[in-house]
């Protein structure tokens, strides 16, 4: 290499090193002053929905501990992609967060846009909601194994309803089918509650739905719960055995977790995670979560990131195997 060229390279390296050194104090100062203004927490759903309510419960606690207002901003639409895009394009300074959900992970995977594992910084899981598999009281089955056997003996005749193509209830049942060989045909509705109402009238045979949603229908005696999707029994589905007892490996949780824009400084992510952990240890917040059908479930940023990787891989496979494609 010619002396002039070598000198130019060395000068360039010195400039890069100087720039890198200059960035460190700026990043440190940003973290030390965090939060310097109100924080916006995006809930990519409508006001009053599960993610919205959970975001507001957490926001109230974080407002107290962080000393800045946490404002919940509802950006519903496009299966959560509108809210995802807003956060993905926000400044990575911790002042814009996303209360993400399992349903939205499925949507971003289905549409292959705004991947949670690639375009965001995981802050931590916050809560989870168990799902249950239930059948019409008119169906002569009283256990998960009986449902499997009954459907296999009647190919194409036993139906299951969901809240729509690509929703959590839809994938809950497709995962169940793939792991058991149950022969169940999908009927999509515009909401899980409609499927449950149809079951009460004997017009729908089975469904998967959030445990709290099903409880009022069970009280009528016209809907029967066969199993819960958690690994262990849960107080949100009292007296219901985990499906994993009959189907090894079957587990599903409707989770809620906080994401930040990619490249948010680790010190800020860790601070947010610490404050979330403190909030979730408060008994009154735990009980408020139970009241809206969720259980506190805290994880570290690293644990949440690894969890998102596993969830993305699992649901990508289910989507592919069931030939589920984005709505046109």
CATH of residue 283: 3.40.190.150
Domain assignment present for 188: yes
Same domain membership, residue 228 and residue 149: yes
105 phi and psi, to 5 degrees?
A: -65, -40
124 phi and psi, to 5 degrees?
A: 160, 155
Domain assignment present for 16: no
Q: Is 68 in a helix, a strand, or coil?
A: coil
**In this predicted structure, what is the pLDDT of residue 172?**
96
Of 238 and 326, more confident: 238
Please give the structure tokens belonging to residue 178.
Answer: 């793939």
* Separation CA 98–CA 54 (nearest Å): 12
The answer to whether residue 1 scores a pLDDT higher than 50 is: no
Please give the structure tokens belonging to residue 7.
Answer: 């000198």
Same domain membership, residue 201 and residue 171: yes
- Mean pLDDT value across residues 157-179: 94
Same domain membership, residue 260 and residue 240: no
* CATH (domain of 178): 3.40.190.10
Query: Which residue, of 245, 264, 297, is where some domain finishes?
Result: 245
* Separation CA 106–CA 257 (nearest Å): 14
- Mean pLDDT value across residues 321-327: 87
Of 220 and 305, more confident: 305
Which of 233, 239, 249, 242 lies closest to 295, judged by CA?
233
Domain assignment present for 275: yes
Same domain membership, residue 94 and residue 200: no
User: What pLDDT, in 10s, does the model give residues 207-236?
Assistant: 999 998 898 888 888 999 999 999 999 999
**In this predicted structure, what is the pLDDT of residue 79?**
87
**In this predicted structure, what is the pLDDT of residue 14?**
54
Domain assignment present for 206: yes
Domain assignment present for 20: no
Between 10-14, 182-186, 248-252, the lowest mean confidence (pLDDT) is in: 10-14
The DSSP line for 84-97 is HHHHHTS-SSSSEE
Q: Any idea which residue has 């209830």 for tokens? A: 169
Same domain membership, residue 137 and residue 240: yes
The answer to whether residue 12 scores a pLDDT higher than 50 is: yes
Of 11 and 141, more confident: 141
Query: Which residue, of 223, 245, 267, is where some domain finishes?
Result: 245
Between 19-33, 38-52, 113-127, 134-148, the lowest mean confidence (pLDDT) is in: 19-33
Query: Is cis: bond before 142, omega within 30 of 0?
Result: no
Domain assignment present for 297: yes
Residues paired with residue 178 on neighbouring β-strands, in sequence order: none
Q: What is the chain's mean pLDDT, rounded? A: 91
Q: Number of structural domains, the chain?
A: 2
Same domain membership, residue 81 and residue 61: yes
Cβ atoms of 220 and 258 within 8 Å: the answer is no
Residue 193's pLDDT band (boundaries 50, 70, 90)? confident
Same domain membership, residue 218 and residue 78: no
Of 23 and 57, more confident: 57
Domain assignment present for 326: no
Same domain membership, residue 260 and residue 117: yes
The domain of 178 spans 130-245
Same domain membership, residue 271 and residue 234: no
**In this predicted structure, what is the pLDDT of residue 11?**
56
Domain assignment present for 10: no
Query: Which residue, of 216, 245, 274, is where some domain finishes?
Result: 245
Q: Give the containing element (helix H, strand E) for 55.
A: helix 50-66
What does the buried/exposed string (b/e) look like for 254-288 if buried means 16 or more CB atoms within 10 Å of the residue's CB? bbbbbbbbeebbeebbebbbebbeebbeeeebbeb
Cβ neighbour number for residue 320 with a 10 Å cutoff: 10
Same domain membership, residue 260 and residue 271: yes
> Strand 223-228 relative to strand 158-162: parallel, antiparallel, unpaired?
unpaired
Same domain membership, residue 160 and residue 149: yes
Which of 69, 104, 106, 58 lies closest to 85, judged by CA?
104
* CA dihedral for 298, 49, 109, 147, sign (positive or negative): positive
User: What pLDDT, in 10s, does the model give residues 56-107?
Assistant: 999 999 999 999 999 999 999 988 999 999 999 999 999 999 999 999 999 9
Same domain membership, residue 241 and residue 144: yes
């Amino acid at each position: 290499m010619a002396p002039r060229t070598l000198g130019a390279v060395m000068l360039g390296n010195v400039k890069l090193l100087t720039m890198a050194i200059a960035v460190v104090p700026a990043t440190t100062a940003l973290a030390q002053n965090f939060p310097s203004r109100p924080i916006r927490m995006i809930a990519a759903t409508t006001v009053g929905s599960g993610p919205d309510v959970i975001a507001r419960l957490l926001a109230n606690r974080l407002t107290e501990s962080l000393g800045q207002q946490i404002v919940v901003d509802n950006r519903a639409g496009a299966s959560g992609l509108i809210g995802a895009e807003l956060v993905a394009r926000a400044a990575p300074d911790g002042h814009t967060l996303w209360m993400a959900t399992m349903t939205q992970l499925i949507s971003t995977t289905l549409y292959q846009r705004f991947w949670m594992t690639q375009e965001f910084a995981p802050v931590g899981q916050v809560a989870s909601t168990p799902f249950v598999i239930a059948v019409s009281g008119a169906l002569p089955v009283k256990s998960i194994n009986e449902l499997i056997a009954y459907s296999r003996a009647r190919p194409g005749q036993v139906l299951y309803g969901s809240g729509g193509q690509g929703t959590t209830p839809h994938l809950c049942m497709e995962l169940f089918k793939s792991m058991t060989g149950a022969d169940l045909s999908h009927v999509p509705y515009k909401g899980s509650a409609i499927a449950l109402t149809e079951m009460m009238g004997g017009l729908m045979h089975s469904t998967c739905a959030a445990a709290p949603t099903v409880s009022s229908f069970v009280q009528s005696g016209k809907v029967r719960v066969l199993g819960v999707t958690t690994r262990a029994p849960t107080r949100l589905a009292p007296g219901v055995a985990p499906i994993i007892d009959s189907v090894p490996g079957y587990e599903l949780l409707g989770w809620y977790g906080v994401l930040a824009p990619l490249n948010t400084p680790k010190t800020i992510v860790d601070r947010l995670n610490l404050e979330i952990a403190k909030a979730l240890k408060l008994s009154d917040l735990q009980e408020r979560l139970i009241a809206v059908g969720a259980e506190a479930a805290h994880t570290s940023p690293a644990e949440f990131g690894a969890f998102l990787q596993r969830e993305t891989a699992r649901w990508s496979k289910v989507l592919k195997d069931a030939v589920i494609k984005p709505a046109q």
